[in-house]
Amino acid sequence: VARREGLGDDTYTLISDDTSLTISSSSRRGLLFGIGRFLRLSPAGDGCLDIPLGLDREWTPTSRIRGHQIGYGHLSNSMDSWSVAQFDRYIRDLILFGCNAIEINYKPDPSPHHKLSFDEMATELSVMAVRYDLDCTLWIPNWGDEPHYHEALTSGQELEDRERFFRLLPRISGITVPGGDPGSLRPYVLFPWVERLTEALGASGHTPEAWVSAQWMKADTGWYDSFTEHANERPDWLAGI
Protein backbone atom coordinates (compact mmCIF):
# COMPACT_ATOMS: atom_id res chain seq x y z
CA VAL A 1 0.00 0.00 0.00
CA ALA A 2 1.48 3.36 -1.03
CA ARG A 3 0.47 7.01 -1.20
CA ARG A 4 0.51 8.48 -4.68
CA GLU A 5 -0.11 12.18 -5.17
CA GLY A 6 -2.02 13.54 -8.14
CA LEU A 7 -4.94 11.12 -8.06
CA GLY A 8 -8.51 12.05 -7.15
CA ASP A 9 -9.68 11.21 -3.65
CA ASP A 10 -11.61 8.13 -4.84
CA THR A 11 -9.12 7.03 -7.52
CA TYR A 12 -6.58 4.26 -6.95
CA THR A 13 -4.17 2.09 -8.91
CA LEU A 14 -3.36 -1.60 -8.69
CA ILE A 15 0.06 -2.73 -9.94
CA SER A 16 1.18 -6.37 -9.62
CA ASP A 17 4.17 -8.51 -10.47
CA ASP A 18 5.03 -12.16 -9.88
CA THR A 19 5.32 -11.82 -6.12
CA SER A 20 3.50 -8.68 -4.97
CA LEU A 21 0.71 -6.19 -5.50
CA THR A 22 0.91 -2.44 -4.83
CA ILE A 23 -2.24 -0.42 -4.14
CA SER A 24 -1.74 3.34 -4.47
CA SER A 25 -3.94 6.39 -3.93
CA SER A 26 -3.62 9.99 -2.79
CA SER A 27 -6.24 9.51 -0.04
CA ARG A 28 -6.94 7.13 2.80
CA ARG A 29 -10.32 6.15 1.44
CA GLY A 30 -8.87 5.60 -2.03
CA LEU A 31 -6.50 3.05 -0.52
CA LEU A 32 -9.44 1.34 1.20
CA PHE A 33 -11.38 1.22 -2.08
CA GLY A 34 -8.34 -0.34 -3.74
CA ILE A 35 -8.09 -2.97 -1.02
CA GLY A 36 -11.80 -3.72 -1.45
CA ARG A 37 -11.44 -4.07 -5.22
CA PHE A 38 -8.51 -6.43 -4.81
CA LEU A 39 -10.30 -8.63 -2.28
CA ARG A 40 -13.49 -8.79 -4.36
CA LEU A 41 -11.67 -9.82 -7.54
CA SER A 42 -9.09 -12.19 -6.07
CA PRO A 43 -10.13 -15.85 -5.68
CA ALA A 44 -9.29 -17.32 -2.28
CA GLY A 45 -8.96 -20.96 -1.27
CA ASP A 46 -6.64 -23.58 0.17
CA GLY A 47 -4.82 -21.02 2.30
CA CYS A 48 -3.84 -18.75 -0.59
CA LEU A 49 -5.09 -15.69 -2.46
CA ASP A 50 -4.67 -15.60 -6.23
CA ILE A 51 -3.94 -12.32 -8.00
CA PRO A 52 -6.00 -12.37 -11.21
CA LEU A 53 -4.86 -10.93 -14.51
CA GLY A 54 -6.12 -7.54 -15.62
CA LEU A 55 -5.84 -5.73 -12.29
CA ASP A 56 -2.99 -3.45 -13.39
CA ARG A 57 -4.77 -0.19 -14.07
CA GLU A 58 -6.10 3.02 -12.60
CA TRP A 59 -9.62 2.78 -11.22
CA THR A 60 -12.07 5.68 -10.77
CA PRO A 61 -15.69 5.16 -9.62
CA THR A 62 -18.30 6.31 -12.13
CA SER A 63 -20.50 7.94 -9.45
CA ARG A 64 -19.21 10.84 -7.34
CA ILE A 65 -21.59 10.16 -4.45
CA ARG A 66 -21.91 6.58 -3.21
CA GLY A 67 -23.52 6.99 0.18
CA HIS A 68 -25.59 4.95 2.59
CA GLN A 69 -28.08 6.24 5.15
CA ILE A 70 -27.71 5.00 8.71
CA GLY A 71 -30.55 5.15 11.21
CA TYR A 72 -30.27 4.84 14.98
CA GLY A 73 -33.70 6.08 16.02
CA HIS A 74 -36.54 3.94 17.34
CA LEU A 75 -37.87 1.46 14.72
CA SER A 76 -34.80 1.86 12.47
CA ASN A 77 -34.93 -1.81 11.55
CA SER A 78 -32.46 -3.47 13.97
CA MET A 79 -29.89 -0.67 13.91
CA ASP A 80 -31.20 0.93 17.12
CA SER A 81 -29.81 -2.11 18.97
CA TRP A 82 -26.33 -1.98 17.43
CA SER A 83 -23.12 -1.26 19.31
CA VAL A 84 -20.26 1.01 18.22
CA ALA A 85 -18.29 -2.07 17.15
CA GLN A 86 -21.17 -3.32 14.98
CA PHE A 87 -21.51 0.03 13.21
CA ASP A 88 -17.75 0.15 12.69
CA ARG A 89 -17.76 -3.30 11.08
CA TYR A 90 -20.79 -2.38 8.96
CA ILE A 91 -19.17 0.81 7.66
CA ARG A 92 -15.91 -0.99 6.87
CA ASP A 93 -17.89 -3.54 4.86
CA LEU A 94 -19.58 -0.71 2.95
CA ILE A 95 -16.20 0.83 2.16
CA LEU A 96 -14.92 -2.43 0.67
CA PHE A 97 -17.74 -2.15 -1.88
CA GLY A 98 -16.94 1.49 -2.69
CA CYS A 99 -19.14 3.48 -0.32
CA ASN A 100 -17.63 6.95 0.17
CA ALA A 101 -20.26 8.60 2.38
CA ILE A 102 -22.60 7.92 5.27
CA GLU A 103 -25.74 9.90 6.02
CA ILE A 104 -26.92 9.94 9.62
CA ASN A 105 -30.71 9.93 9.87
CA TYR A 106 -31.48 12.57 12.51
CA LYS A 107 -34.21 10.90 14.57
CA PRO A 108 -33.16 11.38 18.19
CA ASP A 109 -36.15 9.55 19.66
CA PRO A 110 -35.02 7.08 22.35
CA SER A 111 -35.23 3.34 21.84
CA PRO A 112 -35.34 0.68 24.57
CA HIS A 113 -32.59 -1.09 22.61
CA HIS A 114 -30.09 1.77 22.55
CA LYS A 115 -26.57 0.99 23.76
CA LEU A 116 -25.78 4.72 23.72
CA SER A 117 -27.94 7.81 23.46
CA PHE A 118 -28.66 9.06 19.95
CA ASP A 119 -26.28 12.02 20.32
CA GLU A 120 -23.49 9.77 21.57
CA MET A 121 -23.87 7.24 18.76
CA ALA A 122 -24.15 9.94 16.10
CA THR A 123 -20.88 11.37 17.40
CA GLU A 124 -19.26 7.93 17.18
CA LEU A 125 -20.49 7.55 13.58
CA SER A 126 -19.01 10.91 12.65
CA VAL A 127 -15.73 9.87 14.27
CA MET A 128 -15.75 6.76 12.06
CA ALA A 129 -16.23 8.97 9.01
CA VAL A 130 -13.11 10.90 10.01
CA ARG A 131 -11.20 7.68 10.67
CA TYR A 132 -12.02 6.18 7.27
CA ASP A 133 -11.97 9.48 5.36
CA LEU A 134 -15.65 9.37 4.40
CA ASP A 135 -18.09 12.19 3.78
CA CYS A 136 -20.65 12.44 6.58
CA THR A 137 -23.98 14.13 5.97
CA LEU A 138 -27.15 14.51 8.05
CA TRP A 139 -30.74 13.89 6.97
CA ILE A 140 -32.75 16.40 8.99
CA PRO A 141 -36.56 16.21 9.01
CA ASN A 142 -38.90 19.08 9.83
CA TRP A 143 -40.53 18.77 13.23
CA GLY A 144 -43.52 20.96 12.47
CA ASP A 145 -45.69 22.48 9.78
CA GLU A 146 -45.48 26.02 8.47
CA PRO A 147 -46.83 27.84 11.60
CA HIS A 148 -43.98 26.29 13.59
CA TYR A 149 -41.41 27.90 11.30
CA HIS A 150 -43.23 31.22 11.06
CA GLU A 151 -43.12 31.54 14.85
CA ALA A 152 -39.79 33.03 15.95
CA LEU A 153 -39.79 31.32 19.35
CA THR A 154 -40.44 27.75 18.19
CA SER A 155 -38.23 27.91 15.10
CA GLY A 156 -35.49 29.64 17.09
CA GLN A 157 -35.54 26.89 19.72
CA GLU A 158 -35.30 24.21 17.03
CA LEU A 159 -32.40 26.06 15.42
CA GLU A 160 -30.58 26.19 18.78
CA ASP A 161 -31.12 22.44 19.22
CA ARG A 162 -29.73 21.77 15.75
CA GLU A 163 -26.65 23.92 16.29
CA ARG A 164 -25.98 22.19 19.62
CA PHE A 165 -26.10 18.86 17.80
CA PHE A 166 -23.91 20.11 14.94
CA ARG A 167 -21.20 21.06 17.43
CA LEU A 168 -21.06 17.50 18.80
CA LEU A 169 -19.95 15.94 15.52
CA PRO A 170 -16.34 16.23 14.32
CA ARG A 171 -17.36 15.94 10.63
CA ILE A 172 -20.47 17.12 8.81
CA SER A 173 -20.05 17.42 5.04
CA GLY A 174 -23.54 18.82 4.50
CA ILE A 175 -27.20 18.32 5.36
CA THR A 176 -30.27 17.05 3.48
CA VAL A 177 -33.67 18.54 4.30
CA PRO A 178 -36.99 17.32 2.82
CA GLY A 179 -40.03 19.48 2.23
CA GLY A 180 -42.18 16.93 4.01
CA ASP A 181 -42.45 13.45 5.54
CA PRO A 182 -42.48 14.63 8.24
CA GLY A 183 -43.68 18.23 8.08
CA SER A 184 -45.40 20.05 5.24
CA LEU A 185 -43.42 23.06 4.09
CA ARG A 186 -44.07 25.00 0.93
CA PRO A 187 -40.90 26.15 -0.85
CA TYR A 188 -41.19 29.78 0.29
CA VAL A 189 -40.92 28.48 3.87
CA LEU A 190 -38.60 25.54 3.22
CA PHE A 191 -35.75 27.36 1.48
CA PRO A 192 -35.35 30.17 4.06
CA TRP A 193 -35.44 27.54 6.83
CA VAL A 194 -32.70 25.49 5.18
CA GLU A 195 -30.65 28.67 4.79
CA ARG A 196 -30.91 29.25 8.55
CA LEU A 197 -29.80 25.66 9.15
CA THR A 198 -26.74 26.08 6.92
CA GLU A 199 -25.83 29.27 8.77
CA ALA A 200 -25.93 27.30 12.03
CA LEU A 201 -23.86 24.60 10.35
CA GLY A 202 -21.21 27.12 9.33
CA ALA A 203 -21.21 28.69 12.81
CA SER A 204 -20.47 25.19 14.17
CA GLY A 205 -17.29 24.91 12.09
CA HIS A 206 -18.68 22.76 9.26
CA THR A 207 -19.18 23.38 5.55
CA PRO A 208 -22.49 25.33 5.19
CA GLU A 209 -23.99 23.22 2.41
CA ALA A 210 -27.37 21.56 2.00
CA TRP A 211 -29.30 19.33 -0.37
CA VAL A 212 -33.04 19.99 -0.53
CA SER A 213 -35.50 17.20 -1.30
CA ALA A 214 -38.57 17.99 -3.43
CA GLN A 215 -40.65 15.81 -1.16
CA TRP A 216 -44.14 16.69 0.07
CA MET A 217 -47.09 14.36 0.34
CA LYS A 218 -49.60 16.90 -1.04
CA ALA A 219 -47.39 18.56 -3.64
CA ASP A 220 -49.09 19.76 -6.81
CA THR A 221 -47.89 21.51 -9.96
CA GLY A 222 -47.84 24.87 -8.18
CA TRP A 223 -45.67 23.44 -5.39
CA TYR A 224 -43.13 22.04 -7.85
CA ASP A 225 -43.11 25.24 -9.89
CA SER A 226 -42.36 27.23 -6.75
CA PHE A 227 -39.68 24.73 -5.71
CA THR A 228 -38.00 25.00 -9.11
CA GLU A 229 -38.13 28.80 -8.95
CA HIS A 230 -36.38 28.86 -5.57
CA ALA A 231 -33.81 26.26 -6.64
CA ASN A 232 -32.99 28.20 -9.80
CA GLU A 233 -31.96 31.16 -7.67
CA ARG A 234 -28.95 28.97 -6.81
CA PRO A 235 -28.21 30.21 -3.28
CA ASP A 236 -24.60 29.74 -2.20
CA TRP A 237 -25.52 27.06 0.32
CA LEU A 238 -27.42 24.86 -2.17
CA ALA A 239 -25.27 21.82 -3.04
CA GLY A 240 -27.92 19.85 -4.92
CA ILE A 241 -31.51 18.68 -5.26
SS3 232: coil
Mean pLDDT over all residues of the chain?
92
Determine the average pLDDT of the residues in 87-109: 95
Average pLDDT over every residue of 132-156: 90
Residue 154: count of CB within 10 angstroms of its CB? 14
In terms of C-beta distances under 8 Å and separation of at least 24 residues, what long-range contacts does 51-54 make, across chains too? 51/16, 51/21
pLDDT at 226 over 90: yes
- Is 80 exceeded by the pLDDT of residue 75? no
Reported pTM:
0.91
Whether the CB-CB separation of 88 and 128 falls below 8 Å is answered with yes
Amino acid at 45: G
pLDDT value of residue 50: 82
Q: Taking each helix axis as running N to C, give the angle between helix 84-96 and helix 118-131, from 0 to 180 degrees, rounded to the nearest 10.
A: 40
Q: What is the Cα–Cα distance from 217 to 233, expressed in whole angstroms?
A: 24
Cα(230)–Cα(145) distance, integer angstroms = 19
pLDDT at residue 196, rounded to an integer: 95
Confidence of residue 191 (pLDDT cuts 50, 70, 90): very high
Asked whether the beta carbons of 195 and 237 are under 8 A apart, the reply is: yes
